[in-house]
């Protein structure tokens, strides 16, 4: 099964620094692609979630908060086109989405732009 990996709070203000492109090269056996959004990877080769998590943690000098989603879930999300054919311009944000989610649900959160999800979808098609 293909996966999409989201690492939380990495490469932000010198915190939990690493080079995503280097990590992707270390995980070449799983056909890992660095999306370009900080800590976002597409894993195109079939591998168990547990094995993937173990290998990622092996190569990082810290233990990040990590979410691994089935690729089919991300594809389904993008295919619904919640913003129509064009994502809305962000403009001036009044609220940082992570803060709202973390406060409301008392859980850690991370955000990515809609363009990152479109890129993920294209990489999964390739």
Looking at the 3D structure of the chain, how many domains does it have?
A: 1
DSSP 94: S
| pLDDT of res. 105 | 84
Query: What is the extent of the structural domain holding 59?
Result: 3-125
Concatenated DSSP letters of 31-46: TEEE-SSTTEEEE-S-
Percent of the chain with pLDDT over 90: 47
Res. 109: pLDDT tops 80: no
In angstroms, the CA 84 to CA 118 distance is 12
- Tens digits of per-residue pLDDT, 60-98? 989 988 999 999 999 999 999 887 776 666 665 555 677
**Model confidence at 30, in pLDDT bands (50, 70, 90)?**
very high
What rounded mean pLDDT belongs to the chain? Answer: 86
Measured distance CA(108)–CA(8) in Å, rounded: 8
pTM: 0.83
Q: pLDDT band for position 31 (50/70/90)?
A: very high
Distance CA 34, CA 21 (A): 6
DSSP assignment of 76-116 equals HHHHT-TTTTSPPP--S-SS-HHHHHHHHHSS------HHH
User: pLDDT tens for residues 12-26?
Assistant: 677 787 888 899 999
């Amino acid at each position: 099964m293909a996966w999409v990996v989201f690492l939380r709070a990495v490469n932000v203000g010198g915190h939990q620094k690493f080079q995503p492109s280097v990590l992707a090269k270390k995980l070449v056996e799983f056909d890992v692609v660095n999306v370009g959004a900080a800590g976002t990877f597409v894993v195109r080769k079939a591998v168990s979630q547990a094995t993937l998590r173990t290998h990622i943690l092996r190569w990082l000098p810290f233990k990040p908060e990590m979410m691994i989603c089935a690729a089919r879930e991300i594809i389904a999300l993008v295919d619904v086109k919640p913003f129509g054919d064009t994502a809305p311009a962000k403009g001036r944000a009044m609220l940082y989405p992570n803060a709202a989610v973390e406060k409301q649900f008392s859980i850690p959160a991370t955000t990515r732009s809609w363009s990152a999800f479109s890129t993920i979808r294209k990489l999964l098609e390739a």
